[in-house]
Structure 1
């Protein structure tokens, strides 16, 4: 337990009633998680408002409330007011768990694409160097050898600090974390003391949440301005990205650049891409080395360079970095090859932005001898502007497209598909001929159709959901795994 006055010590507050002398056993931002002697933080969300659940929290045992609105409470609980309870949640969570990020080496990875792959590459490097690791990200969270399901790319501030405290208890020394623009904008990582910050790239995404691309860009830059001026902290920046100058300017720390086209501290040369891997040479001020990796694509050369930068920033030598990288055998749902002895390729990938779709399709052109069949859709309740662009990219770089559902969420699947089709028809006008595509709303049927249409040497690309094992509709969420559906379809072809 902690004294309430210790927990709110960093906050600018006003005490509306009660005092700060009480003891706090825990913190909750969801009234359903409140227990005896808890501090309940009232957060105004996008669909609900925690201030409406004060009575439920008190009934469950809350002895203190943190609010950002004037409230009337018919109880003897302590009520504290602050300007921003989202920031307040970050402050009280860090204080309650004794600022755990200060006891760890924390690497934060942000960017539109590549965050998950980066974290897994860095994890492999640091494990090879003998460190005990924690991981927070899209696919899963890990506390040393324990694995937990992930609900979002970057958890809420309370959940992050709780995870970090658990990691310290388990002897973890280094943590690698995906940092989303939502997390930065909503102050989920406001009190996390990052040692290394990585910028992968930035293209259109999440404009359903951010009002403009410039706001999306500003959110990403917060990670680098948070480093503060320190010789012990490092910003690792993709110098080839068109917006790299803005991230360089935002960085309040040492800077390490990486790239392929421009001069950089870490530069790749002599790149050879195959269906199952990539080879390249590293040029750096530290030294040179040759790498032969089990992940493919030019985009993964960039991911590898930034992971190398993280390793070097944390004192890992090049030999251990090389060994850690070359042990990676692939990452779930990221250019994941589905091999069932068929005579054509099947790959599942998480690509869900125009840029990531373009990247994987351009990589496929380097090795596919036959046609490229693209099975894809777009998520509901997300940036609608990217839907027609995704359609254009699919028919520009693919030979045949199967347009289907992704996670429609609260939207009608047919309406999302219609938005995608606008871009395909626009591409028709540009080309002066009809693009080759079909619409199959049911995703399982679409995957089956793509695989049944494949001829020897073709490649069926199933994109958008990657590692996900569910599909979310307006009224239900069902088990659904692109990889398992593909395997069943391949088994059917074999007559099994």
Structure 2
């Protein structure tokens, strides 16, 4: 695309154009990352939390940037387009450069504190059952049809997201399921992403290290829905009617509303739930009809996830009977209540539960499925919301027979200080043990387990690494507990 044509799409304030320069060249790339740049790139200077792109302009030019988009004064020998907000400019330029790819896809965004990964994977499985080519954007990985790509962030930056959408269009993908984080919404990473459907799962404490308070966090979640109708009409918001934030989300959008729930009258309601070791049976009440549903996943929280996916697939245009048939074939998501079978009828479950509500849901799910005791091993992430640490310990203590506190990506914090936070306000420590080395904590849990016990390894889920200081080392809870079972 011609640089002048690209820049004309912006409401820019002014252009600084050196006498020996012009904008008559074909743009090869639009990016905020100096490491990605090639000759004839457009570099967008973003003022981030750790680095300011305006300080990297010389490096960008040396890497091949021929045009800079900035919001602060620069002294450089290439053209500079000055705008009020480079984040908004990046969203606009990226969408135009890749020819608005999201408008050629059926895009469903899923936001909420818990359940985003499972809902997107359930939707993806339903689509694939119907022979629909799919894309995924999320925590574990990004997927373009059958090609899996490494995910750095749950929701990528604008230029990466638009490039990913363009790859999906090229691969003839039809339906995309996308996790949308609250941080990404505040930072505008989803600007110019043309969502057809937005799903709200639930709301509970998380990310208060970023949002400061629950009101700000709630506002962040609502942004996906308030922006849903801005590009065109015919959009749908799918809301968990049972959640306390439901009415707030509903009033934040002009889109069509569909609701789902268990405890309240909703458009898609689950009744007569029956939990068993092989999954969950329930009756779906929808569109004036009743349907028997078998879901090969355990837990009430997964019934909510399934209802969200059913509603999303219905909005796409699929028949409810075939949607229900597709659900029978789904398998669990890695690191989400993932079963690891051990000797002597000792089983372990690996789960990503890293918030108070998620940990409570997981333990409440395991309780009726456990013959004997529950041993919970978990930690809390460093440089993250410290207020939830003692709350999670209290929940683990309430629903477990033994709790082993350990590390979970302590980052730049002292692991011992994190443990002290986790113990804050607790009087009875009789059922709590401390082992800072997560590998040893898992081995201790296995060594202490009796026949019929269940071990829950919570917090890391699908993650295959541990972050201690600035060092990232390989670490996989599933592999570690398998090794512990073998050695025991």
TM-score by length of 1: 0.95
Q: Are residues 1:492 and 2:487 paired?
A: yes
Unaligned runs of 5+ in 1: none
Structure-2 residue corresponding to 1:6: 5
Per-residue deviation, 1:436: 0.7
Q: Are residues 1:464 and 2:463 paired?
A: no
Structure-1 residue corresponding to 2:67: 64
Q: Distance in 1 between matches of 2:63 and 2:481?
A: 47
Structure-2 residue corresponding to 1:144: 145
Per-residue deviation, 1:9: 4.0
Q: Are residues 1:26 and 2:29 paired?
A: yes
Structure-2 residue corresponding to 1:276: 278
Q: Distance in 1 between matches of 2:183 and 2:440?
A: 33
Per-residue deviation, 1:16: 3.6
Q: Are residues 1:239 and 2:241 paired?
A: yes
Range that drifts further, 228-237 or 410-419 = 228-237
Structure-2 residue corresponding to 1:445: 440
Structure-1 residue corresponding to 2:203: 202
Range that drifts further, 3-12 or 446-455 = 3-12
Task: Report SS of the residue matched to 1:387.
Answer: helix
Out of 336, 339, 355, the position equivalent to 2:338 is 336
Task: Report SS of the residue matched to 1:272.
Answer: strand
Per-residue deviation, 1:20: 4.4
Q: Distance in 2 between matches of 1:101 and 1:6?
A: 21
Task: Report SS of the residue matched to 1:381.
Answer: coil
1:54-133 aligned within 5 A: 54-73=57-76, 75=77, 77-133=78-134
Does structure 2 conserve the Cα–Cα contact (< 8 Å) formed by 1:87 and 1:188? no
Deviations 1:12-37 (A, max 9, x none): 21234125444311112111211100
Unaligned runs of 5+ in 2: none
Deviations 1:267-311 (A, max 9, x none): 001101123311111001153211112211100000000000001
Per-residue deviation, 1:341: 4.1
Deviations 1:343-374 (A, max 9, x none): 12210000000000010011112221211111
Does structure 1 conserve the Cα–Cα contact (< 8 Å) formed by 2:229 and 2:255? yes
Does structure 1 conserve the Cα–Cα contact (< 8 Å) formed by 2:15 and 2:80? yes
Does structure 1 conserve the Cα–Cα contact (< 8 Å) formed by 2:360 and 2:395? yes
Q: Distance in 2 between matches of 1:476 and 1:24?
A: 37
Range that drifts further, 387-396 or 458-467 = 387-396
Per-residue deviation, 1:434: 4.1
Out of 281, 286, 289, the position equivalent to 1:287 is 289
Q: Distance in 2 between matches of 1:124 and 1:437?
A: 40
Range that drifts further, 449-458 or 271-280 = 271-280
Q: Are residues 1:476 and 2:471 paired?
A: yes
Does structure 1 conserve the Cα–Cα contact (< 8 Å) formed by 2:342 and 2:348? no
Q: Distance in 2 between matches of 1:276 and 1:375?
A: 24
Structure-2 residue corresponding to 1:373: 375
Deviations 1:302-342 (A, max 9, x none): 00000000011010001221122111121100000001444
TM-score by length of 2: 0.97
Q: Distance in 2 between matches of 1:474 and 1:396?
A: 31
Does structure 2 conserve the Cα–Cα contact (< 8 Å) formed by 1:199 and 1:236? yes
Structure-2 residue corresponding to 1:395: 397
Task: Report SS of the residue matched to 1:45.
Answer: coil
Deviations 1:396-419 (A, max 9, x none): 111110000000111111111111
Does structure 2 conserve the Cα–Cα contact (< 8 Å) formed by 1:231 and 1:254? no
Task: Report SS of the residue matched to 1:24.
Answer: coil
Task: Report SS of the residue matched to 1:465.
Answer: coil
Structure-1 residue corresponding to 2:171: 170
Q: Distance in 1 between matches of 2:194 and 2:344?
A: 49
Does structure 1 conserve the Cα–Cα contact (< 8 Å) formed by 2:200 and 2:240? yes
Does structure 2 conserve the Cα–Cα contact (< 8 Å) formed by 1:123 and 1:133? yes
Does structure 1 conserve the Cα–Cα contact (< 8 Å) formed by 2:14 and 2:83? no
- Residues 445 and 458 of structure 1: is their aligned pair in 2 closer, same or farther, counting only changes over 3 Å? same
Range that drifts further, 407-416 or 12-21 = 12-21
Between the two proteins, the alignment pairs up a number of residues equal to: 483
Structure-1 residue corresponding to 2:262: 260
Task: Report SS of the residue matched to 1:316.
Answer: coil
Q: Distance in 2 between matches of 1:345 and 1:21?
A: 65
Range that drifts further, 21-30 or 390-399 = 21-30
